[in-house]
Every structure is written in C-alpha cells, then in structure tokens.
Amino acid sequence: MNVFEFIIIITLQNNIFSGLFVGQNLLTLKEVDSTNNFLKDLLSNSKPVPEGTVIMAETQFAGRGQQNNQWYSEPGKNLTFSILLKPTFLAVADQFDLTRAISLGVYDALWPILGDGLKIKWPNDIYYGDKKLGGMLIENLLQGQQIKSAIIGIGLNINQEVFPDGASNAASVKQILQKDYNLRFILAEVCNNIEAYYLNLKAGKIDFVRNTYLSRLYWFNEQRSFKTLNGVFEGKITGVKEKGLLVIKDNKGDELEFSLKEIEFLNK
C-alpha cells in the first residue's frame, strides 16, 4: 500500500469535513519533521495528489514559521497541518491574495470561539490581543507565470498551557478561555472556511477578499510604534498593497511601504 492509498482509507473512516474538497483526503501522522516537507515528498511521488489534501501531525519536530523561525508545539495539544491547493487561476504577481484568503479562513474558524479580540497580524499571523495564537508558511511551486501548487503549513496553539521561554509572545485558546477544545473539530472548521475564501478568489471576488483582510488587520488605522533599520517611528497602518507590501503613514504624513523583513511591530 502506498501513501496515497493510505490517505483515501483514512478519509473514508474519519471524514468530518463538510467542504467540497479541502480535507476530503486526510492523513494523520503520529510524528513528522514537517507536514510541509511530507506533503512536498508526497507531490514528488508518481501518483497525483488531489487538491485539498490535508496532512495533520500530532508532533512536528522541525516545524517552521516565517523567515525559518522554529515553531514549538507540545505533542497532541495543538494543530499542526498542511493543505495542498492548486491555484493555477492566480497569477504569480497576485500570490499574496492566497495569503489573504488562508489568513481569513483561519480567522473565521476561530472567531466564533474567541470573538473580537482576534486579529490577523500582517502578513499572516493569528493574534488575540497582543499574543500570537498561530501562523502559517505558504510555499508556492511556480510554473512560468502560474502557481502550479501551494503547500500551506499552519500551526495553531489550541490546548497547550505552557510555552518555552523563547516563545514569550505565544498564547493558546485554552489559556484564553480555560477549557480544552476538540482539535479535529477546529481543523474541520479551518478547512471549510479556507475553502470558502479560496473559492471566492477563484470566482474573481478579489476586492472582497482584500477588503475583508484589511478590516481584520491587527493595528489597522491605530497609532503605533514600529522599528526599521533606520530606527523607531510612530505611524498608522493604512493599507496593504496588491503584492503584499505593508503601508504605514508616519507622523509626517508620508506613506511608507515595507516588505516582511523590513519592519518590526513594537508590541511589547
């Protein structure tokens, strides 16, 4: 039996996903270095992998976040999973729209539980107040001017109560609400909501996705402190460019644009 056939069997026995395709093929692993790496290996197999395939791990021992930051997760307490999408309808220049859609899907899944304290910190971290609940790493495989496939790795702190000293900004749903949550139920909600925003993108509802993302952005239109290589300054986030650059208006009235490695939020 190969890995692909194993996924189908797992799905038939354990499917709780109500969407059309995201999560309909589900493989749960006891331990893996990274669900993104596992999914990449699966794609290199000779058999095709259906769009919407989800790889979930109880333990990741080499999980990664943005800029190769390590993702710490206590075994069996949190959600660590990857989703395969094939957004060939998106131009390479518009790939940040996929980031927007995935972030919104996670947000909408958690909002009924956590409410208005939930925000998306640019570009794609999930925050409650000033604490980080989760994040994602999207790895796109390009073919010419198209995105052939996208591997979306997501980590969400759900039932973990204690975090390492190096993760002082981390928080979990249990820390906030003092109760445990069913991981598979939340996984199903995340997948269903991601699928909904993804289908909006596919239907050409780009402005809807972009405007909704902006309305849920952490620190949007608030006077805050930021740090760059040139020092600390104050300003307000006023927008996010089509290709994902963050726009901040400083106290002089100048609109400044930043990529991921150029700006730091001083939220401590």
Please state which CATH number belongs to domain 223-265: 2.30.30.100
Q: What digits encode the pLDDT tens for the residues 134-178?
A: 999 999 999 888 899 999 999 999 999 998 877 779 999 999 999
76: left (phi over 0), alpha (psi -120 to 50) or beta: left
pLDDT given at position 139: 96
Q: What is the pLDDT of residue 45?
A: 83
The region of weakest confidence among 45-54, 60-69, 123-132, 155-164 is 60-69
Angle at 27 between CA 23 and CA 29, to 5 degrees: 135
Whether the per-residue pLDDT at 87 is higher than 50: the answer is: yes
**CB-based contacts of 262, cutoff 8 Å, min separation 6:** 228, 229
How confident is the prediction for the chain on average, in pLDDT?
89
Distance in angstroms (rounded) separating the CA atoms of residues 166 and 152: 24
Interatomic CA distance for residues 65 and 67, integer angstroms = 6
Question: What number is the average pLDDT over the span 227-254?
Answer: 96
Residues 6+ apart with CB under 8 A from 254: none
- pTM for the complete prediction? 0.90
CATH of 3-215, one of 1.20.120.160, 3.30.930.10, 3.30.1360.70, 3.40.50.2300: 3.30.930.10
Q: How far apart are CA 59 and CA 189, in angstroms?
A: 21
Cα distance between residue 159 and residue 171, in whole Å: 10
In angstroms, the CA 186 to CA 174 distance is: 13
- Residue ranges per domain, the chain? 3-215, 223-265
